[in-house]
DNA sequence: TCTAAACTTGACCAATTTAGTCAGGTATGT
DNA sequence: ACATACCTGACTAAATTGGTCAAGTTTAGA
């Protein structure tokens, strides 16, 4: 089981955005420089964040991105869903003879995996961008 | 983020073992047939489980594996650790200029990832093989 | 004692995923 | 008009996953 970088980058970038977008839109270039994330990769990530209405963009010179909601309204679960960072348990094979078919004869681990998913998602649903800002506001970056 | 099959197979196999090892050792061949897991792959998994003292083996005809502890003493965290199914968050690059070096200037997501790891591990530490046996004892397989 | 059943070890591999890069746009403020 | 910044899609090297394959060693039972 692992957590990938994409979700982490998305969170890092949005925290950065939340701290700097109060006056002007923030360019991806700036975020790239501050957070050390490739600009091209950031563009892919922000494309998804925009499709999911987490950020808004302004084009042209002095353009950039702004959060489309308040930090306390943006939950981590929204962010991870947006960038396709799903908590995906490996599915039981439907075609397996002895395996789990999701109906009466669930395999022994089926319920367990469901529980775990719920457990993790609950964690992400509780945490908002604002929580992360608080945790880090006392530090200079 | 995803959960791989190896950990799931390990759990499935151990639940199977717990239900059938009361009299004789259980051969991997039997587990393979009942659970629909490749015999060769099971051997890899059980090699690790044995190294971690979760199962004991008996060689020769009528040989096989037996749990080395009681089902309520085997926590899922033990199983996952044994088969290298770690909850591994993607590490912050040490060499990154702006990144997290684990010391004073932690990146904004560092604490978050730590918290999540703890959250998940807590879940696995609470669950034992016995819990899974209870959940499934009423069913015929 | 012979042999088949069962464990043991290590090398190997195809498919998928990840974490990007690259190239070529389009839109817009100054 | 032109530089800046967003936008889109194709491509790819490296790592991981989920195994297979081959070649053993050990031991119970005929």
For B5-136, give the CATH class. Answer: mainly alpha
> Is it the case that residue A1 has pLDDT exceeding 80?
no
Task: Report the range of poorest mean pLDDT among A2-6, A98-102, B116-120.
Answer: A98-102
Residue A14, class by beta-carbon neighbours within 10 Å (0-12 exposed, 13-18 middle, 19+ buried)?
buried
> Are the C-beta atoms of residues B136 and A108 closer than 8 Å to each other?
yes
pLDDT in tens, A96-112: 444 554 444 456 777 88
Strands B2-3 and A88-89 come out as: parallel
pLDDT in tens, B14-66: 999 999 877 789 999 999 998 888 999 999 999 999 999 999 999 998 899 99
Report yes or no: A60 at the B interface, CB cutoff 8 Å: no
In angstroms, the CA of B62 and the C1' of C17 are apart by 41
What pLDDT sits at residue B135?
A: 72
- The domain locations on chain B are 5-136
The set of residues, in sequence order, having a beta carbon less than 8 Å from that of B68 and lying 6+ positions away, is B53, B54, B55, B56
3-state helix, strand, coil in chain B (%, to 5): 50, 10, 40
Q: Which residue is closest, via its CA, to the C1' of D6?
A: A59
Query: Count of alpha carbons within 13 Å of B90, Cβ hemisphere only?
Result: 14
Give nearest nucleotide to B60 (CA–C1'): D27
What tokens does A136 get? 């880090």
In 3D, which of A46, A53, A39, A38 has the Cα closest to residue A17?
Answer: A46
Strand D near-CB residues (< 7 Å), B 45-104? 58-63
What pLDDT sits at residue A126?
A: 93
Report the b/e string of A93-111 with b at 16+ CB within 10 A: eeeeeebbeeeeebbbbbe
> Are the C-beta atoms of residues A58 and A64 closer than 8 Å to each other?
yes
> Is it the case that residue B128 has pLDDT exceeding 90?
yes
> Which residue reads 């109060």 in tokens?
A22
> Is it the case that residue B92 has pLDDT exceeding 80?
no
Interchain pair B119, A120: CB under 8 A: yes
Interhelix angle for B28-35 vs B5-20, to 10°?
110
> Is it the case that residue A78 has pLDDT exceeding 90?
yes
Q: Is the CB of A88 under 7 A from strand D?
A: no
Q: Is the CB of A124 under 7 A from strand D?
A: no
> Strand locations in chain A, DSSP E?
55-58, 64-67, 88-89
What pLDDT sits at residue B23?
A: 78
Distance between first and last Cα of chain A: 30
What pLDDT sits at residue B107?
A: 66
Q: Which of A1, A4, A119 sits opposite B7 (nearest CB)?
A: A1
């Amino acid at each position: 089981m692992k957590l990938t970088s994409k979700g982490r980058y998305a969170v890092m970038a949005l925290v950065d955005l939340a701290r700097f977008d109060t006056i002007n839109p923030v360019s991806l270039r700036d975020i790239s420089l501050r957070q050390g994330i490739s600009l091209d990769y950031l563009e892919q990530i922000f494309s998804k964040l925009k499709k999911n209405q987490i950020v808004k963009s302004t084009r042209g010179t002095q353009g950039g991105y702004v959060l489309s909601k308040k930090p306390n309204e943006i939950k981590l679960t929204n962010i991870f869903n947006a960038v396709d960072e799903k908590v995906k348990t490996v599915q039981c094979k439907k075609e397996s003879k002895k395996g789990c078919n999701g109906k009466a004869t669930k395999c022994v681990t089926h319920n367990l995996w469901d529980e775990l998913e719920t457990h993790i998602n609950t964690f992400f649903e509780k945490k908002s961008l604002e929580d992360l800002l608080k945790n880090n506001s006392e530090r200079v970056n």
